[in-house]
Amino acid sequence: MSAALHIREEEVVVDGIAVHYRVAGTGRPLLLLHGLLADGQTWRRNLKDLARHSTVYAVDLFNMGKSQRVAGLDASLEATADRIARLMDCLGLDEADVAGHSHGGALAMMLAARHTNRVGKLVLFAPANPFCVHGARNARFFSTPVGAWLGRRVPQWPGLLHRAALRRMYGEPSRIIDGTLACYTEHLSIPGTMDHLLAIVRSWGSDMRGLKKVLNRLADVPALLIWGDRDRAVSLPSAQLLAKEMHHAELLVLHGVGHLPFEEQPEICNRAIARWLQN
């Protein structure tokens, strides 16, 4: 493997918080933001290919993955997006292209809206958005005492339930490769992880309302939206409504694919990202 494709694991301190990330490649920077119940490992099937054209940073977001846990951290979209901008400062990145999945996609949009001069192009994999009712419904449940009780026990769920939840995220579960489940469950039991995830859920409604108010700031931001037509988490109809708000958006729909297109069809997604960023 060439030096350009060597993946390094690094750590940087942002606002006194140790943030873990993986970096590979050379060229224009590309920041990867994962979704809920995930960390930078979620991009393991994309990093090497994307690093052929970009310097890729796959971040373990605050209070997730191998990053430091800090109690009481503001988990709102606005606060987290501002924290990501300061992360870019610490990495020496004046500007970067940004790819995000699910909640990470919502973060990418908020980052571009609040720090327009810091973001070049967007790649959004089924991003959480104000036009999807599924997320709001789930957020309301996990904001209740019963939902919070259940959420805190996700790391202790039997493996059978974890496997069932992962299969639900795929359009075709036979595409799940060995080790995938461990990538999602490995760090969930670290104290403070589920508390932070539940804080994100509690702010979901206000976050989506806030995101809707600033979508007009993304009108001129080039954005590639990638969705699976079997996505059970963020509905495909919401993609079409979101694309209408973004005047320079292109929507790529993958047949038979679920909520994790970049995992389920990595080769197709890697080619699409490379084409979009190099155009």
**38, 100 contact by CB (below 8 A):** no
Q: What is the pLDDT of residue 3?
A: 47
Q: Which two tokens stand for residue 223?
A: 């954005």
Q: What is the pLDDT of residue 135?
A: 74
Q: What is the pLDDT of residue 274?
A: 97
Q: What radius of gyration do the chain's Cα atoms show?
A: 17
Q: Residue 61: CB partners within 8 Å, gap ≥ 6?
A: 19, 33, 34, 39, 67, 80, 104, 107
DSSP notation for 211-266 = HHHHGGGGTTS-EEEEEETT-SSS-HHHHHHHHHH-TTEEEEEETT--S-HHHHSH
Domain ranges of the chain: 3-278
Q: What is the pLDDT of residue 151?
A: 77
HSE-CB of 86 using CA atoms within 13 angstroms: 15
Q: What is the pLDDT of residue 142?
A: 77
The CATH H-level (homologous superfamily) assignment of domain 3-278 is Alpha/Beta hydrolase fold, catalytic domain (3.40.50.1820)
Count of beta carbons in the 10 Å neighbourhood of residue 70: 14
Burial of 258 per CB tally in 10 Å (0-12, 13-18, 19+): buried
Q: Residue 279: CB partners within 8 Å, gap ≥ 6?
A: none
Give the residues of the chain that fall short of pLDDT 70: 1-4
Please give the Cα distance from 253 to 251 (Å, whole number). Answer: 6
pTM: 0.94
Q: In 155-193, which positions are buried (b, 16+ CB within 10 angstroms) versus exposed (e)?
A: eeeeeeebbeebeebbbeeebbeeebeebbbebbebeeb
Q: How far is CA 5 from CA 32, 34, 251, 264, 279, in A?
A: 16, 21, 29, 22, 22
